[in-house]
Amino acid sequence: MTLTAVLEDVAGDGPVVLAGHSLGGLIAARYAPDHQDRVSGLVLLDATSPTMIDDITGVIPESATGEGAEVRAQNLAIFQGENPEGIVIDSDPEVRPAGDIPVEVIQHGVRYLGEIAEYGDDLERVWTEGQEQWLALSDRSRLSTAEESGHYIHVDQPDVAVEAILRVTDEAAA
């Protein structure tokens, strides 16, 4: 897998804390259960929900038009490999345990999905539910909200992201 090769180049064979935003959060959360010997902590910044395909298709019908139809098509395409990395994403909604590792899940506090006409409130609801699902990764998981951030928490409130990474790194090393 590409992530394994990158980690070997960057960190050798030592333990790592993975931090991922959006699709990167989904990838990190899917990687950790299969690499418990390697991943010692996770920070998920508004990570794509494990149930994203079901969420999008459940909220925005195939018959949608306008902005809703665009959001539906874009999200489905991302899972089919139309993303910068060209990765086809497994749409399995199960969240598998990643061991007894520290996990911080940080969700956006500024509604951005709510701006999507007709579907926004439901999209915000299922996004929040998806963030809560990531708590099943570990008994040491916690959820917080970056109150002043939209989806790009690491840009809007970089201190929140950095502090979470430092906390998880310290906990993992202890």
pLDDT, tens digit (0-9, with 9 covering 90-100), for 30-50: 999 999 999 999 999 999 999
| Residue 94, helix vs strand vs coil | coil
Q: Set out the domains of the chain in order of their start, with CATH numbers.
A: 2-52+93-173 (3.40.50.1820)
| pLDDT reported for residue 1 | 62
Which pLDDT tens digit goes with each residue over 68-113? 999 999 989 888 888 777 778 877 888 999 999 999 999 999 999 8
User: 10 Å Cβ neighbour count for 45?
Assistant: 27
d(CA 35, CA 66): 41
